[in-house]
Amino acid sequence: MPGKTHAAIGVMLTTMILLPTNDIKYTLANTALAVVGAFTVDIDTAKSQGATFLKKIFGTIVAVIILGAILKIEYNINIFNYILENRAIHQLIPGLSILVGALIMGVITPHRSFTHSMVGVIAFTIPIYMLAGPLYKGFLIGYIAHILADMLNEKEVKILWPMKKGICLNLCSADGIVAKILFVVSIGVTVLQYKNYFNI
């Protein structure tokens, strides 16, 4: 499934779960991390490694800055302060160390194994929690949604890694029509959530 579909599903689920009962700043900051989480899972694919991964993260940061600027100007909602306030400085070094370790592990293990497993969920969510505090929720939603979406197609997901047994539901092909539909539906549902929120 393409990265953009995983990102869109993560954005939709984070919005659905957090927007109805939380502050919009909290929801948006979590949504940015959901995109990062959705992209992180596939650092184990050859074409997604290194430069491509960094490009996606850079793209996400640029998107957050543009979105943040629009919200500040149009609605006087400042998500930048919110993100900075939630940074746990004293946990920066241990958090980053674990994160780098998990990223290296992700790059060297085969596709759909470590990063696509419960061990991977824990290995990445702990450092994100240390670095971003309560904003780990979005990351976790984006990350788990990616693994679940991958299970829909014909290639096994080793959810119980390091155990060998994998799961696949064989409902769709990786880049097929289902992935395209999921992308469009996810964007549509997200837009509807915000339309409701702003009453427009």
Q: How many other CB atoms are found less than 10 A from the CB of residue 124? A: 26
Task: Considering the complex, state which of residue 28 and residue 172 has its C-beta at the smaller distance from Zn ion.
Answer: 172
Query: Taking the complex as a whole, how short is the minimal distance between the CB of residue 19 and Zn ion, in angstroms?
Result: 26
| Contact footprint for Zn ion (CB under 5 A) | 42, 150
Task: Considering the complex, state which of residue 95 and residue 142 has its C-beta at the smaller distance from Zn ion.
Answer: 142
Query: Taking the complex as a whole, how short is the minimal distance between the CB of residue 108 and Zn ion, in angstroms?
Result: 16
Structure tokens at 11: 């954005």
Alpha-carbon distance values, 89 to 46, 58, 93, 158, 191 (Å): 33, 22, 8, 34, 34
- Asked if residues 39 and 56 have their Cβ atoms less than 8 Å apart, the reply is yes
Query: Taking the complex as a whole, how short is the minimal distance between the CB of residue 6 and Zn ion, in angstroms?
Result: 7
Task: Considering the complex, state which of residue 27 and residue 60 has its C-beta at the smaller distance from Zn ion.
Answer: 60
Query: Taking the complex as a whole, how short is the minimal distance between the CB of residue 116 and Zn ion, in angstroms?
Result: 6
Task: Considering the complex, state which of residue 27 and residue 115 has its C-beta at the smaller distance from Zn ion.
Answer: 115
DSSP helix, strand, coil percent of the chain (3-state; round to 5)? 75, 0, 20
